[in-house]
Amino acid sequence: MTELHRPLQEPATRAWVRATTPARVFTGRAGTSYPTAALLALRADHAAARDAVTAPLDLDDPELDELSARFSFVTARTRAGTRAQYLRRPDLGRRLDPACREDLLAHCPAGADLQIVIGDGLSATAVHAQIPHLLPLLARGCDERGWSTGRPIVVHQCRVGVMNDVGELLDPAVVVLLIGERPGLATAESLSAYLAYRPRPGHTEADRNLLSNIHREGVPPEQAALRILALAQAMRAAGRSGVAIKEPAALES
């Protein structure tokens, strides 16, 4: 009998389940509550998630500062002037600040094969944790394919819809937005990659593709880079993105 088919009350099976998922299952109990260790871990994870939502994206962080110098980041912001406004007005986070549009036109080459955008989203913590590993892998993969990438754009107070403004301004073939996901109690370091072929204002989620759960315990950066590049290649070949493009099953595993 395999571990999967043993009765769940057996200690060995409970330990096996706990080892295969970050979900809080078989944690035990103390009366009607969690045991002390489980309760403290829950509170710590909840605090990390809350901090991730409000923490600023700090480009002076040593690893991000090194990347900024190496890849010549261009910074921008959305119409959400503060973090509080960003959280209360998602619509403002989907549009670039008008003053930043001129900066992007002046400093970012148009017509790139793949335009990389980095957004804080709902977890700057995820950007700090994943971008130093993921960005160099994407840049190397683009070089190997002979793709131009322009200059990476870092957007503060960023929502996914900002891809449409970037597409309208710079007309890249594919935009990939690497953005912090809404943190949960399993991790506050999870990143998403949204991709779209020639995005424009008015495009919706149906026009985009998503690779989520990018972190060491989910989709590791090495695999994420391969999957992002494969999706971008499929979009370029088909001339479209979204529901019409399916990720190769071999890359999902």
What is the percentage of the chain residues whose pLDDT exceeds 90? 68
User: Distance between CA atoms of 177 and 243, rounded to whole angstroms?
Assistant: 17
Mean pLDDT to the nearest integer, 145-169: 97
Percent share of the chain, pLDDT over 70: 91
pLDDT at 253 over 70: no
CATH number of 62-252: 3.40.50.11240, 3.20.20.70, 3.30.930.10, 3.40.1190.10?
3.40.50.11240
Q: What pLDDT band is residue 37 in, cutting at 50, 70 and 90?
A: confident
Residues 127-147 as b or e (16 or more Cβ within 10 Å = b): bbbbbbbbbebbbebbeeeeb
Nearest Cα to Cα of residue 215 among 194, 195, 186:
186
Residue 1 has pLDDT above 60, yes or no: no
Evaluate if residue 224 carries a pLDDT over 60: yes
The backbone torsions φ and ψ at residue 197, rounded to the nearest 5 degrees and listed phi first, read: -90, 120
Q: Is pLDDT above 60 for 250?
A: no
The closest of 119, 205, 201, 100 to 158, measured between CA atoms, is 119
| d(C-alpha 188, C-alpha 203), whole Å | 29
Residue 44, pLDDT above cutoff 70: yes
- Return d(Cα 151, Cα 82) in angstroms, integer: 25
Three-class SS state of 211: strand
Averaged pLDDT for residues 233-250: 89
Domain map (residue ranges) of the chain: 62-252
Q: Tell me: the pLDDT tens digits for 174-206? A: 999 999 998 776 688 999 999 999 999 999 999
Interacting residues of 139 by C-beta distance below 8 A, sequence separation 6+: 71, 116, 149
The 10s digit of each residue's pLDDT in 16-25 is 776 777 677 7
pLDDT digit string (tens) for 58-85? 999 888 999 999 999 999 999 999 999 9
- CA 251/CA 34 separation, integer angstroms: 39
Q: 120 is written with which tokens?
A: 């804080």
Mean pLDDT of the chain: 89
pTM of the prediction?
0.85
